[in-house]
Amino acid sequence: MPDQALPGPPLRVLVADDNPVVRAGLTALLEAHPDTVVVAAARDGEEALACALRHAPDVVLLDVRMPGVSGLDVVRYMRRVEQTQHIPVILLTGFGPDTELTATAFALGVADLLMKPVDPWALRTKVRYLYEAQQRHHNLERELRDLRALVKEHLPDTAPADPAAARIPEQPRRPSTRDGDRLEQGRTP
């Protein structure tokens, strides 16, 4: 089944791996899709951080174990910086399943953890899914900002600052009639 083209701007991916063969392979795999661009291919964690800040990618593919700054350290830093805190990250590891690594990665907010060698179809699917989810999130945020601006534009200037004070007061309940008994106005029993 051939990949379908994504509408809109291209999917921008940052690839970070200390192995040049893996970097080149991931880049080629991702760029084989017509709507995907690898904005940078970093060889270590420091370069990955700089590229994430410079290029603002849609998704980051990040090797866990790199010399110097590890992939987990890159994620820790990204989550503390407003510009990068919401960028989805897929961690890659060639060292097999590790429950401690998995727990740490997901606690940091990593979107996924894949074992090398990666399945090309699975990787492209995950990257595309994360991109589309991120686009939906941005669209919802934009709609929310627009709605808030619209509400603010239509609220009177005298609106109370406390939303609880802006509630519509409850109307007094009218007595109900039963079995044909009617209350007449102006009559007292």
pLDDT mean over 160-168:
60
pLDDT value for 174:
60
Residue pair 75/91 in contact (Cβ under 8 Å)? The answer is yes
pLDDT tier, 98 (very low <50, low <70, confident <90, very high otherwise) = confident
Per 3-state DSSP, the chain is made up of helix, strand and coil in percentages (nearest 5) of: 45, 15, 45
- Is the pLDDT reported for residue 2 higher than 50? no
For the stretch 99-156, pLDDT in tens is 888 898 999 999 999 888 889 998 988 999 898 888 888 889 899 988 888 888 887 6
Verify cis geometry, omega within 30 degrees of 0, for the bond prior to 34: no
The pTM (predicted TM-score) of the whole model is: 0.70
d(CA 10, CA 189): 79
pLDDT value for 138:
83
- Is the pLDDT reported for residue 45 higher than 90? yes
